[in-house]
Amino acid sequence: MKAAAIIPAYNEAPTVAKVIRAAQAAPSISEVIVADGESVDGTPDIARAEGARVVSVAGGKGEGMAAGVAATDADVIVFLDADLTGLRPDHVERLVRSVTEDGAGMALGLFDRGRWLNPIFLHLLPRLTGERALRRELFTSLSPKDCRGYRVEAALNSRAAELGERVEAYVLDGMFHRTKEEKHGNPVLGFAKKVAMLSVAVWEYLAYQLRRRVRLSGRGG
């Protein structure tokens, strides 16, 4: 199976190069695509210099993911955020092999938040993560409206459940990301943007779960 890494990015110049290198060094990855959302900090130039293919897209994260998928014929898609720190090639390889060798329909890689928080994020909270590998057909089964902004992660989780796909999830040790507070250099602004992003993602997750239960109850009746 051909596997491609797709990295949605917007103004991620400080970190995008290392994310690209980690993906390129994973044995199963055949191409790396950066879906750039009109960055103004040189992110596309850095990506090209690292040997990644760059596609430009007007829109948010979901639109970037869709543009990346459309730009490749890979059977397995690995999505990686462009702001990651501590990402290693073996992290990427583990995600791919969960799908190609272990038979999972989708694999989710979570941030390493430490021994106390990891179990909470892994087992008790909605697993909304940008680090995931999946079969191409799972992504292309989404409707266009599901590929808008941050709702795409909730849509993928819900779609996998609807199709009965087995999902593997685990913490990728040592991996984290640049926080919104760091990116904006303003704790208040960064926190506000983080809350806005999480609110959209969690709301969409809950909405998808509710609609799924309604559909299932309708079938049962």
Query: In the 3-class helix/strand/coil scheme, how is 32-87 assigned residue by residue?
Result: EEEEECCCCCCHHHHHHHCCCEEEECCCCHHHHHHHHHHCCCCCEEEECCCCEECC
Say if residue 135's pLDDT is above 80: yes
Q: Is the pTM of this model over 0.85?
A: yes
Phi and psi at residue 174, to the nearest 5°: 85, -5
> For residues 113 and 218, which has the higher predicted lDDT (pLDDT)?
113
Out of 31-35, 109-113, 154-158, 173-177, least confident range: 154-158
> Which CATH fold topology does 3-178 show?
Spore Coat Polysaccharide Biosynthesis Protein SpsA; Chain A (3.90.550)
In contact, 84 and 177? CB cutoff 8 Å: yes
Contacts of 38 (CB under 8 A, 6+ apart): 10, 56, 57, 58
Q: Say if CB 104 and CB 166 are below 8 A apart.
A: yes
**Backbone angle region of 121, left / alpha / beta, with phi > 0 → left and psi within -120 to 50 → alpha:** alpha
Q: Do the beta carbons of residue 87 and residue 175 sit within 8 Å?
A: yes
β-strand pairing of 3-9 with 29-36: parallel
pLDDT digits (tens, 9 = 90+) for 68-107: 999 999 999 999 999 999 999 999 999 999 999 999 999 9
- Is the predicted pLDDT of residue 53 greater than 60, yes or no? yes
Alpha-carbon distance of 10 to 213, in angstroms, equals: 35
* Confidence at residue 125, expressed as pLDDT on a 0 to 100 scale: 85
Kindly state the greatest CA–CA separation across the chain.
Answer: 57
